[in-house]
A and B are shown apart, each in its own frame.
Chain A
């Protein structure tokens, strides 16, 4: 079946630097991939998604890259800010349900 996993459970980044969070997924016919941000005490918040027929998509300060050859997904956050501190999940969408990975906690260093 489908599964997703993140490469690192935690990531520490200097404020102002760019953050890159990586994710791998197993063989799937997923329609799309999604990144979520979850702050303490809150539900996951949608950041950006990408269809499986695309390899790059940009949003406000975020870029998602999809490499289907190696089954790898990444989220890049530009000019990381203190408010970016959270747990980030990659997920895949299949048959209208969402399958989550374990999450990477992003720490912002002053």
Chain B
């Protein structure tokens, strides 16, 4: 049973560019949450998707947007990249029928230069 997978593993972008990160949830899970983890910090909640809609959102600007597909996979898009967006982006999946214990993927390391 594959766990949560994310792509790409690493990414280098320039300020002002746009980036798309991808996530496939664990088999049987229908809810995807995205987190940003800056170096030396705990993950910070960005938003959560369920039934192809954003269900709740953390304290992140509109430059951060997402999408969920019918197969429950998800994308995180960040526009107009800033140096401060450099971080590890984590995807976690869960099943709406149980409490969210956050089964995390390995993350995508984004570096903005």
Q: B-contacting residues of A (Cβ < 8 Å)?
A: 31-32, 34, 36, 41-46, 49, 89, 91, 93, 95-103
Contact = CB atoms under 8 A, between A and B. Distances in A.
Contacts of A99: 45
Given A97-B56, A98-B33, A100-B44, A45 B101 contact: no
Nearest to B88: A43
Contact of B106 (A41, A102, A103): A41
B42 A43 contact: no
Given A44-B90, A49-B101, A96-B56, A101 B106 contact: no
Interface in B52-100: 55-56, 58, 90, 92, 94, 99-100
Contacts of A34: 101-102
Most B C-beta atoms less than 10 A away, residue of A89, A100, A101 = A100
5 shortest A-B CB distances, which residue pairs?
A100-B42, A43-B104, A97-B45, A44-B104, A96-B100
Given A44-B90, A45-B104, A102 B42 contact: yes
B25 interface: no
Contact of A97 (B4, B48, B103, B106): B48
